[in-house]
Amino acid sequence: MQLLLEPFEADVVVRALVAGMIAACLCAVVGCWVLLRHSVFLGDAMTHGMLPGVAVAALLGGSLMVGGLLAALAMALGVALIGRSSKLASDASIGLLLVGTLALGVIIVSRSQSFAVDLTGFLFGDVFAVRTSDLVVLAVALALTFIAVVIGHRAFVAVTFDPRKAATLGLRPQVAIPALTVLMAVAMVASFHVVGTLLVLGLLVAPPATALAWARSIPAVMALAALIGSAAVYLGLVVSWYAQTAGGATIAGVAVLMFFVSTLLSQLRSHWRRASVVAVSACLVAGCSGGGPAPSETSQSTAAGEDEVAVEGARELDGPLTKLVIVDPTSGDTAVYDAVEETESAVGSFGAITAVDGDGRYVYLQTGDGATIVDAGAWTFDHGDHYHYFATEPALVGTLDIPVFSAVASNSLVAVESAEGPVAVLDYEKLGERTVEPAGLSLGKDVTAAVPYGSRVVTVTGTGRMQVIDDTGANDLVGECVNPTWSKASRRAVVFGCEAGAVRVTGGEGDLTVTAMPFPPDAPAQRPQQMDHRDRADVFAGLSPGTVWVLDSRQRRWTTIAVPDAVAANTAGDGSVLVLHRDGSLSSFDVNERTETARVPLFPGGVPEQGPQPVIDIDSDRAYVNNAGAREIYEIDYADGIRIARTLHTDVVPGLMVEAGR
């Protein structure tokens, strides 16, 4: 016990302990957000970016903290500006600015012959030289940071996990994100006297990273990280006292070591739980089976290397983007509207456009006898049990010599159909290279509908013959779909609309199964010619005169709802269907009860009968309805009583619209 207390008999060590514990609490509060927002590399760049500001402040006789704070904020601003205007990935822009600012700082320092000692203290810290004024600065920074985090907690959580929802809830992500950056800079500047700028990242990241393995809520992670960071400060000072090592570096080293020890204990805990479950299960099986063989259980895992999906020229994101491709049908003016940033990027003008359709990334503009293909610049890659999200710049891809009416894509193929005529299967990856190229699969001339199913394509002829085609040839499927009218893909199936109802195609790598879903006997005589749905969902919605149709393809159940003035309909597959009425109102119907549950006015004066009709594009938590006359797009929170979350104003007339990125 004496060995643990002896170092703190000296006042300088006690002051170092107090300073280190305050810095640990400060870094725990801010570091939690750094980890959750995946901003560690940005934090590293900001610590290096402080050097020019500190150097200039020292040479001019000013405050080192003010100089460092301004330089760190300038680094963050530079990263944001380059990230928006450059085609480089964010890590590349951060790396370039990191090297540039560090070089600038060294150049400034080299102009002063007496700066070497101060620079060493700045880079690596001098925890034993902490003064009372430094303690005051640390305490004030901790108090202000704590107040800011408490006040902005709701906004910080929303902007960290869903910036779009933060915007729709009025939480002002354009303010919350810079506020988090300022808090990061304050924590670094206030703490660099303890561990130095090159090591402050260890105190900022290691304790919260350690806490994440043991706590689940954000406040709990912050509190536990503060305890872990304080323990690292105490142990680091004890080790430094007896080993005669640098105090700041030892504190940072202990913090990182605690992370690895914690990770090891967490893994052992996980394996111990799994082993306990297996042992208990084995005992139960053995006891219940009277000594018979236990059933085997297989688990599927993915190696780290197998999870990497790289797309040349694109940057991977932490979550999906929402891009709305809007088109003026008269002039062909086309733009991509970013629903998170509320910014609009013009793509071009392509003459009169009669219809549009999208496959999740690419949008196909029907122009007379052909189609123009536009890259929306955002998409989701389905990797089986999880997703990857990518973004690039919106751009024109090329043209196609058939008027595209419908487009459905997998990760490698895209099938495009015309209203009457040929079907083409394109190489999806080549489209990313701005090349419109056939995939090399041979489709019969009588094929009128096709949908990719992984690396294969399921096709239907007008007479109802169904086949699955791959690079080895075509194989007939047991089932038929006479006079196909529409085709869609869910995450695990392909669905075609037919004369007598619909069919669902499912299966793995082997044989595919066709399941018929006939119309109910009492269904209206006029049937839907087109169905919509939330991308990858199994529930579809469509219209015929006076009727809304809903198909749950997994349950093989059709539901019809009488709505005489319906203009558009769509569903997220949550048991409700959204319907836009001719009078301009939007309503939500309970599918099972066939009753209206909510209604809100959208279009003042109603929906005009002339021209392209509005659509309802829907994703996992929002729906979008375009109003060409007002140049507005309404964002609807359909899970909250179809609340109008935002009204988005556009430069291009949004007569035609399709969502991408989700």
Residues 6+ apart with CB under 8 A from 197: 47, 48, 50, 51, 68, 122, 123, 188
- HSE on the CB side for 327, CA within 13 Å? 31
**Spatial separation of the C-alpha atoms in residues 614 and 521, rounded to whole Å:** 31
DSSP-assigned letter for residue 242? H
Residues 6+ apart with CB under 8 A from 180: 33, 37, 156, 159
**Spatial separation of the C-alpha atoms in residues 68 and 90, rounded to whole Å:** 23
Q: Say what the pLDDT of residue 662 is.
A: 78
Parallel, antiparallel, or unpaired: how do β-strands 623-627 and 632-637 relate?
A: antiparallel
The amino acid that residue 353 corresponds to is I
Q: How buried is 598 (Cβ within 10 angstroms: 0-12 exposed, 13-18 middle, 19+ buried)?
A: middle
**Would you say 221 and 215 are in contact if contact means Cβ atoms under 8 Å apart?**
yes
Q: What is the DSSP string of 8-54?
A: GGSHHHHHHHHHHHHHHHHHHHHHHHHHHTT-HHHHHHHHHHHHHHH
**Would you say 400 and 416 are in contact if contact means Cβ atoms under 8 Å apart?**
yes
Q: What is the DSSP string of 267-287?
A: HHHHHHHHHHHHHHHHHHHHH
The amino acid that residue 608 corresponds to is P
Q: Which helix (H) or strand (E) holds 150?
A: helix 132-151
Parallel, antiparallel, or unpaired: how do β-strands 656-660 and 486-489 relate?
A: unpaired
Q: Say what the pLDDT of residue 145 is.
A: 86
Q: What is the CA radius of gyration of the chain?
A: 30
DSSP-assigned letter for residue 520? P
Q: Say what the pLDDT of residue 372 is.
A: 94
Parallel, antiparallel, or unpaired: how do β-strands 413-418 and 404-409 relate?
A: antiparallel
**Would you say 294 and 366 are in contact if contact means Cβ atoms under 8 Å apart?**
no
Q: Say what the pLDDT of residue 412 is.
A: 87
Q: Say what the pLDDT of residue 270 is.
A: 54
Q: Determine the length of the chain.
A: 662
**Would you say 557 and 551 are in contact if contact means Cβ atoms under 8 Å apart?**
yes
Write out residues in the chain with pLDDT < 70, as ranges.
1-2, 80-91, 111-129, 162-166, 168-171, 192-199, 269-310, 385, 509
Residue 527 φ/ψ, nearest 5 degrees: -110, 155
For tokens 């029907």, the residue is 366
**Would you say 36 and 216 are in contact if contact means Cβ atoms under 8 Å apart?**
no
**Spatial separation of the C-alpha atoms in residues 553 and 516, rounded to whole Å:** 10
- Both tokens of 550, joined, read 């809903």
> In 3-state terms, what secondary structure has residue 261?
helix
Q: Say what the pLDDT of residue 99 is.
A: 80
- HSE on the CB side for 98, CA within 13 Å? 16
**Spatial separation of the C-alpha atoms in residues 146 and 111, rounded to whole Å:** 39
**Spatial separation of the C-alpha atoms in residues 654 and 657, rounded to whole Å:** 6
What CATH number has the domain spanning 522-662?
2.130.10.10
Domains of the chain, by residue range, sit at: 2-264, 522-662
Strand positions, DSSP E, 194-269: none
Helices marked H in 353-468 — which ranges? Answer: 428-431
Parallel, antiparallel, or unpaired: how do β-strands 643-649 and 323-327 relate?
A: unpaired
- Count of C-beta atoms within a 10 Å radius of residue 524: 15
pTM over 0.75: no
**Spatial separation of the C-alpha atoms in residues 586 and 603, rounded to whole Å:** 9
Four-way CATH pick for 2-264: 1.10.3470.10, 3.60.21.10, 1.10.8.80, 3.40.50.2300 = 1.10.3470.10
Residue 325 φ/ψ, nearest 5 degrees: -90, 120
Helix (H), strand (E) counts: the chain: 14, 34
**Would you say 332 and 655 are in contact if contact means Cβ atoms under 8 Å apart?**
no
**Spatial separation of the C-alpha atoms in residues 649 and 627, rounded to whole Å:** 10
For tokens 């009709």, the residue is 613
**Spatial separation of the C-alpha atoms in residues 259 and 240, rounded to whole Å:** 19
For tokens 């392209």, the residue is 612
- Picking from 544, 537, 526, 596, the residue whose alpha carbon sits closest to that of residue 571 is 537
Q: Say what the pLDDT of residue 295 is.
A: 35
